[in-house]
Amino acid sequence: MGTVVDAAAKKEANGSLADLNPTVVFVLGGPGSGKGTQCANIVQHFGYTHLSAGDLLRAEIKSGSENGTMISNMIKEGKIVPSEVTIKLLQRAMLEGGNDKFLIDGFPRNEENRAAFEAVTKIEPSFVLFFDCSEEEMERRLLGRNQGREDDNIETIRKRFKVFLESSLPVIEYYNSKGKVRKIDAGRPIEEVYESVKAIFAPKNDKVMGHCHALMKCLILFWM
């Protein structure tokens, strides 16, 4: 996609996203916290579209577009891809997704990402789903995925933890100050973690209906 088309797409995205008024949930957690697995569950059971900022950047590079070449060159030069580039890809994916509920995984990575997303899209997340997991457990999981290369990987893994703590925790603290963080104890087994996730995403009316059904059963038993 050329620069002129990109500019047009950006203009269209801004207008359309305002009309769409989507529900956006930021999904944050350290490497190995299990957020990818839980995002798949949320998509399956609650109808959200899962968007990974990293996947979108990689797909754009693979497409061979002018934008993708620029992103690839920046990464090769060790430069940080500007927030606006990632946000534009997110906007496009949201518009093309045919949905109005989105999980945005691994973004915003830092405060600059967060401020730019809100400024460009005029959208605030409904809440932030934060998968809280100890470094020891995340390290154990990541090393388990890369058996045979533990000594090679452990230093890289610890650097990723450090980046997460320094960059992403300020984002979590910002939204926590606004009452928008839903923290999940992600150190437990997958099924237990999902029960906590489900409690957050289950529609309130479903919970009310559940209470009503329970009350009706009690009344029926009482009058029998």
The binding site for CMP comprises 113
Q: Nearest-5° angle of CA 101, CA 106, CA 107? A: 75
Q: How far apart are CA 66 and CA 72, in angstroms?
A: 10
What contacts 22, CB < 8 A, 6 or more positions away? Answer: 94, 99, 100, 101, 102, 123
Annotated binding residues for a ribonucleoside 5'-phosphate, as ranges?
Answer: 58, 79-81, 106-109, 149, 160
CB 114 within 8 A of CB 53: no
Residue set of the binding site for ATP: 32-37, 145, 188
Residues 176, 174: Cα–Cα separation, whole Å: 5
Biggest alpha carbon distance in the chain? 76
End-to-end CA distance of the chain: 70
Q: Which residues belong to the annotated binding site?
A: 32-37, 58, 79-81, 106-109, 113, 145, 149, 160, 188
Alpha-carbon distance of 150 to 211, in angstroms, equals 50
